[in-house]
Amino acid sequence: MTETETLGLIGTGMIGGALARLAVAAGLDVVLSNSRGPETLSGLVAELGARARAATPAEAALAGDLVVATVPLSAYERLPAAELAGRTVIDTMNYYPERDGRVAVLDEGGLTSSALVQRHLAGAHVVKAFNNIDFHRLFTLARPSGAPDRSALPLAGDDEAARARVARLLDTLGYDAVDTGTLDASWRSEPGTPVYVQPYLRTRPKGLSEEDKQSWFFDTPGVPVPADRVRELTAAAVRGPAGGSRAAVIDD
């Protein structure tokens, strides 16, 4: 069980919304925020109930025992660094050049996107997690601890204690955690790697219309991916050019 009682979320798009729903279902309080203002979150707060409230990003940063940063990578410099100092920050972001624009320091290959976020949040402890699964499977594949069909998700971070805190949160939300090491190794779960999105998806039939593709995405159950398989997939990853193919995950 995690010591987290309140989860702060900066970004309430598809991944953020799924995490908020899992957190409330697990008995956690959530403080939601986005770039558009607390008043735009009234519908989601009403859906989530008494355990949820809306705030500004700075307020969510201060309120959360753990804080999730789930915005487009192009917006990472707007994360409130002062308020996040000293906190464990879960980075769900991926680098999609077609959405975010080219980032030279990432294209050069010497820095992972999470290391770039850590550079901005110099006083925080950044842990990469929840970035390798689509939002629908993230919500529907969650299982209690010990369930035979429980899935695992990779995480990476420079601070060992922060990684442990995030692993406990994963357990609370319904997932085993596979620790892949420091942020320098976080590329192992980035777009284009073997563990990114596809293992949790069934094979989509060919020839579907765009409408049928959408129906298939929401109607088809996910594939459980246990911890041993996640370890195999992350170990087999070969680092390619930054910014692999974008999946059907659009944050905030």
Is the predicted pLDDT of residue 202 greater than 50, yes or no?
Answer: yes
Residue 250 in any domain: the answer is: no
Residue 252 in any domain: the answer is: no
pLDDT of 244: 63
pLDDT of 218: 95
Is the predicted pLDDT of residue 42 greater than 60, yes or no?
Answer: yes
- According to DSSP, the β-strands at 125-128 and 152-157 are antiparallel
The percentage of residues in the chain with a pLDDT greater than 90, rounded to a whole number, is: 90
Residue 180 in any domain: the answer is: yes
Residue 247 in any domain: the answer is: no
CATH number at residue 170: 3.40.50.720
pTM of the predicted model as reported, rounded to 2 decimal places: 0.93
Q: Domains in the chain: how many in total?
A: 1
Contact of 98 with 57, CB cutoff 8 Å: no
**Per-residue pLDDT tens over the stretch 14-36:** 999 999 999 999 999 999 999 99
* Residue 85 CA to its chain's centroid (Å): 20
- Spatial neighbors of 192 by CB under 8 A, at least 6 apart, are 240, 244, 245
pLDDT of 249: 40
Residue 122 in any domain: the answer is: yes
Residue 241 in any domain: the answer is: no
Residue 118 in any domain: the answer is: yes
Q: What's the average model confidence in pLDDT over 169-184?
A: 98
pLDDT of 246: 52
Is the predicted pLDDT of residue 227 greater than 60, yes or no?
Answer: yes
Rounded Cα distance between 37 and 42, Å, is: 10
Sheet holding 29-33, edge to edge: 52-54, 29-33, 6-10, 66-69, 88-91, 125-128, 152-157, 176-179
Residue 114 in any domain: the answer is: yes
**Domain extent for 143:** 6-236
